[in-house]
Structure 1
Amino acid sequence: MRRWLALLLLTGLVAGCAPAPPKVLRLATTTSMEDSGLLAEILPAFEQQYNARVDVVAVGTGQALELGRRGDADVVLVHSRSAEDEFMAEGFGTQRLDVMYNDFVLVGPESDPAGIRGAASAVDALARIAQAQAPFVSRGDDSGTHTKERSMWKNAGLDPTPESGWYLSIGQGMGETLQMANESQSYTLTDRGTYLSMSGSLPGLTILFGGASVAENPDPALLNPYGVIPVNPETVPGVNNELAEAFAEWLISPATQATIGVFGADVYGQPLFYPNAGAP
């Protein structure tokens, strides 16, 4: 009898010492976060600190925000300010916090058949591409990059469609879009971070408009800010808001911001993202 009691007590002690299962955070974010490698760099620290597992869905910004609206994500990390503001105004987010930024650039073949190297602005560059009817690959996926691209065509007074023969809309992420542009010797709009992280596999592409770094980009309209938004549990019941809020605050903490600020600098000579928590 005593042996059984001792065994039961020991079993209870072992069970009591077993680690708690990790909490799950569903993060909907952009393909640039995945393709650049930043998430793989920073998420393990959050998972260890909070005994959590982050399930990442990397899609375009529009799709990421829709996942938040449906309750299929606890927090979103995206880069389309107008869409983010709309998400907040609809009551789907508890707060929006600035996290970081990089910029957009136009890449294409070294031969630059449309002559966009000499463009006065990104809008002028797109107008030159349209005039030359040079092939252009669009993400076509309602992402932040796609939204930015469409706004630039609108500012140029143009509305290209696949029927033109030179404008391709492929409905894919940034990595796939860059690969297609590389293979077809086409122009495309990309965030600098994803391009730099993939440049070794893109021998047919070079930055033709946007300068060698964010600081050297001649067009301030190409700035690309990222924000984090925890999903509002009052509007979308069932989300893990407590862990989402912790994640948002962790992203803007000094330690995480410092990690973001050096990511990629040792390989590319410049960071892929620039921290800007608390930006006005």
Structure 2
Amino acid sequence: MNINKSQVSLLLFFFFLISPFLVIGQGYAKPNDFLTIAVTTSTANSGLLNYLLPRFEENFGIEIRVIIRGTGQALETGKKGDVDLVLVHAEELEKKYVADGYFTRRNNLMYNDFVLLGPANNPAKIKNSDSIVTAFEKVISSKSIFVSRGDNSGTHVKENLIWDLVEFNSPKQYSWYLSTGSGMGATINTTVAKNAYTLSDRASWVTFKNKYNTKIILEGDKALKNQYGILLVNPQKHPHTKKENGKLFIDWLLSSTGQSLIASYKVSGQQLFFPNADPKN
């Protein structure tokens, strides 16, 4: 079939006319569109993000680039405008950053809990029926080795709140208190090696392999709830951030689809995160 120049011009005209409406999946993403998000080690190492993100990317054509940080570092990364979103777990600290204007939106996303890990021989004689405050008091009185992340992560923030409840200031001055300045995996490794106690989020513990003779010593205290929030970086402070795509991703996570996916994620048959979105915030 012969096609003359006028027909070619007509075809090109129609192609450029409709090209803005060509979409990838359900979204209206541009080629090579992406978001950058800073996340906690627990959401990354648990495998949750590997479960969630491909589904969003397939539906909306927006690549999610992940930076793994402790909560404090993740919030600072967002404060500087180096990411578009943060997914963290230190609620009061998050709200302070919002109040200070570094983020325009914070939503509850999901929760699990913290657990106190320790050696099977349990030298501090902690009972699962103890409160977490009593457990920390027994660590002090027995001078049992306690390993802290010491990195201003969400877990470290929770640990410090418990020390405050115990009214025990500056535990790091004592020889039985060790600070790794590292992520949860490295901290649990040190705990196992030192036959020590530590506070961990449950997801990190469930997915940790080298448990040896370390086990959960205490769980179930209401004070050990571990709430996760997702925050949007303030575009007025950082106009280069991808506000609309960020909102799209947050809304998807808070939707029935995102929440159902979070609830369905399991490791060894165990649900690691429990959705509790508050989309109105």
What's the secondary structure of 2:263's corresponding residue? helix
Corresponding position of 1:82? 92
Residue aligning to 1:213 = none
Aligned pairs for 1:71-220 (under 5 A) are 71-117=81-127, 120-198=130-208, 200-210=209-219, 217=220, 219-220=221-222
Match of 2:264 in 1: 262
**CA displacement at 1:177 relative to structure 2:** 0.9
**Which one has a larger percent helix, Structure 1 or Structure 2?**
1
Q: Where does residue 241 of structure 1 map in the other structure?
A: 243
Q: Which amino acid aligns with 2:276?
A: N
Instruction: Give the equivalent residue in structure 1 for 2:51.
Output: 41
Query: Do the aligned partners of 1:93 and 1:229 also contact (CA within 8 Å) in 2?
Result: yes
Q: Deviations over 1:76-119 (max 9, x none)?
A: 11111111110110112221111100001100111101111256
Segments of structure 2 that go 5 or more residues without pairing to the other structure are: 25-29
Q: SS state of the match for residue 73, structure 1?
A: coil
Q: Provide the residue aligned with 2:37 in structure 1.
A: 27
Distance 1:191 1:279 in 2: 25
Residue 274 (structure 1) aligns with: 274
Distance 1:34 1:237 in 2: 27
1:207 maps to amino acid = I
Task: State TM-score, norm by structure 1.
Answer: 0.87
Contact 2:130 2:218 in 1 (8 A): no
Q: CA RMSD in A?
A: 2.5
Relative to structure 1, the CA distance from residue 119 to residue 135 in structure 2 (aligned partners, 3 Å threshold; closer, same or farther) is farther
Give, in whole Å, the separation in 2 of the partners of 1:232 and 1:170: 32
TM-score scaled by structure 2? 0.87
Shift of 1:35: 1.3
Contact 1:100 1:277 in 2 (8 A): yes
Does the CA-based 8 Å contact 1:119-1:125 persist in structure 2?
no
Aligned residues: 265
Deviations 1:59-78 (A, max 9, x none): 11111110111000100111
**Identity of matched residues, %:** 39
Which secondary structure state, in structure 1, belongs to the residue aligned with residue 257 of structure 2?
helix
Cα displacement (A) at 1:44:
0.4
Displacement of 1:178 in angstroms is 1.1
| Pair member with larger Rg | 2
Write the letter of the residue equivalent to 2:119: P
Equivalent position amino acid for 1:74 in 2: D
* 1:230 equivalenced with 2:239 (yes/no): no
> Does 72-81 or 114-123 show the bigger shift?
114-123
